[in-house]
Amino acid sequence: MSNVTIGDASLEDLDALHAIEVRSFAHPWSRRMLAKEFEHPWSRQRAARDEAGVILGYLICWLVADECNVLDVAVDPDARRKGVGRALLEDCAEIARAAGSETITLEVRRSNEGARSLYRDLGFRMVGERPRYYDSDHEDAVLLEWQL
């Protein structure tokens, strides 16, 4: 999607971020959980916006030591399959490299084939599993790593 810009999200964006979170996940983060991320100095919150400034998706990651861990990435269902998720992850990689990170890690539901396909295309590889990782339904998570 060529008309997408990625930049820092702010607390003023919280309602839009939470709306996307709720539309994206069966068991979404609470508004309070999202807001808490703005308090951590190691947390980065990035938003993808269209030309009108409407938030289409966001990514939250932690930069700790030489690693970047993606905690949450969501794209509004109406904006999916248009490169927004890819743009957010590529932006994350740039931020991680600039911070001295050597890897990006994340967990993804085993059943989320769409996301797993995107991650594979970007260069993530499976490095482990987390059995019964998700509290809501006890689905396994697949642990992925991208060497930068």
Known catalytic residues are: 107, 119
- B/e letters for 105-116, b = 16+ CB within 10 Å, e = fewer, are bbbbbbeeeebb
Tell me phi and psi for residue 137, to 5 degrees.
Answer: -140, 5
Report whether 26 contacts 136 (CB < 8 A): yes
Residues recorded for the chain: 148
Locate 78 and state its tokens.
Answer: 């109406």
> Which contiguous run of DSSP H or E holds residue 55?
strand 55-64
Q: Which amino acid is at 133?
A: Y
The C-alpha atoms of residue 119 and residue 106 are separated, in whole angstroms, by 10
